[in-house]
Amino acid sequence: MESVQAIKQRFGIIGNDPSLNRAIEKAIQVAPTDISVLVTGESGVGKESIPKIIHQLSHRKHGKYIAVNCGAIPEGTIDSELFGHEKGAFTGATQTRSGYFEVADGGTIFLDEVGELPLTTQVRLLRVLENGEFIKVGSSKVQKTNVRIVAATNVNMFEAIKKEKFREDLYYRLSTVEIHLPALRERKDDIHLLFRKFASDFALKYKMPTIKLSDDAVNLLLKYRWSGNIRQLRNVAEQISVLEQNRIISASTLQSYLPNSGSNLPAVINNSKSESDFSNEREILYKVLFDMKSDLNDLKKLTMELMKSGNASEVQKQNEGLIQKIYGDDNSVTEDDVEELEVLSIPEKSSEIQHSSTPEDTQDKYHFAEEIEEEETLSLHDKELELIKKSLERHNGKRKLAAQELGISERTLYRKIKQFDL
């Protein structure tokens, strides 16, 4: 059996803290079996090395190793990614596709951020863990696979189970052996060691002398909270290595690279993600798109009114609400702004604009724009619907809270609920 030291060297793991050594030792011990392992620990503590060690030291090392970030795959496609799909299972499924569980047969799958898996996928995962069986999306044929699972999470799984976001039976099945990686602030002796290692790596990389911390800077380094753990420490070492002319780093220089370093007091950390945050980047993007689309529609309406009436201040008076909605409270629209709008939207009245684009051009541009809109509208509608549904679910149907979260008025939300027949 390889020693902990040899493994650390082989996988580039720095540190001598007993809890880190214990975690590696556990990984070495469990590797030759097929036992499922759950790696826990905050973000940036180095969880990703553990499944690699386990795979490499197992009889599966010549099989495939697939790492899947469960939090990064949209809910709608995750089942198909993991288990594959049949041709025609959904729009766009033009061919039968194998999922990771089929591809990794005989190997290891690392399910990172497993706490983010949707409940329906958790059911499928439990089945494959229990008897190696799975079914492709859109199929009825049961398939077999032989895959070893290592999962990781940075969320409190008990909390997730209590909130019914994670199945208790799956948790116990996944965590037959649990390997916990300590936060960096709990490994005080390793902090400076890691910093020195990163500083020396970046000095080589950027061909500059190695930075060195003064004594008071070392003290600050040890006192700091490092909520981003080793990932954050590495980033800070890189930034300082690149940016600082003076290679002796004082505490005040270091401090300027540490966000909130004033609050070294034990902070209350909010482990659970806020219920209402749009944790999924896609959701945020869709929300931005809806907002833009809604603004665009409002602007179209305003432009049309202006073109029809030709009287800017009248239009402004009549559309006060709309203008307020588009430009917000802070940037109240002045007469000038509206006049500017008028000039831009009515080419006939502006010789400058008329010269810059011929009527054919204009037509072409609109034609193009319409084509895009047609394609996007459908999926946007679906996504908007999904977003509203989710928000309502999150707030137990309370429209006021959902509207606040979605950044729309209660009335607009009500209109959408009617429109989508929710």
Ligand X SMILES: Nc1ncnc2c1ncn2[C@@H]1O[C@H](COP(=O)(O)OP(=O)(O)O)[C@@H](O)[C@H]1O
Binding site for ligand X (CB under 6 A): 12-15, 41, 43-49, 230-231, 234
3-state SS of 370-412 is HHHHHHHHHHHHHHHHHHHHHHHHHCCCCHHHHHHHHCCCHHH
CB of residue 13 to ligand X, shortest distance in Å: 4
Residues 150 and 51 sit within 8 Å (Cβ to Cβ): yes
Choose between 46 and 107: whose C-beta lies nearer to ligand X: 46
* Separation between Cα atoms, residue 318 and residue 161, nearest integer Å: 53
Choose between 194 and 413: whose C-beta lies nearer to ligand X: 194
Residues 177 and 35 sit within 8 Å (Cβ to Cβ): yes
Please name which of 405, 159, 137 lies closest in space to residue 283, comparing C-alpha atoms.
405
Beta bridge partners of 212: 248
Choose between 71 and 106: whose C-beta lies nearer to ligand X: 71
Choose between 230 and 338: whose C-beta lies nearer to ligand X: 230
* Separation between Cα atoms, residue 132 and residue 25, nearest integer Å: 28
- Hey, is 60 helix, strand or coil? coil
CB of residue 187 to ligand X, shortest distance in Å: 9
CB of residue 181 to ligand X, shortest distance in Å: 7
Q: Is 238 exposed, middle or buried (0-12, 13-18, 19+ CB in 10 A)?
A: middle
Choose between 69 and 354: whose C-beta lies nearer to ligand X: 69
Query: How many other C-beta atoms can be found within 10 angstroms of the C-beta atom of residue 259?
Result: 13
CB of residue 191 to ligand X, shortest distance in Å: 11
- Hey, is 334 helix, strand or coil? coil
* Separation between Cα atoms, residue 278 and residue 284, nearest integer Å: 6
Beta bridge partners of 40: 153, 180
CB of residue 226 to ligand X, shortest distance in Å: 11
CB of residue 196 to ligand X, shortest distance in Å: 12
Choose between 184 and 341: whose C-beta lies nearer to ligand X: 184
Choose between 12 and 32: whose C-beta lies nearer to ligand X: 12
Q: Give the residue closest to ligand X by C-beta.
A: 46
CB of residue 214 to ligand X, shortest distance in Å: 24
Relative orientation angle of helices 215-223 and 188-206, to the nearest 10 degrees: 120
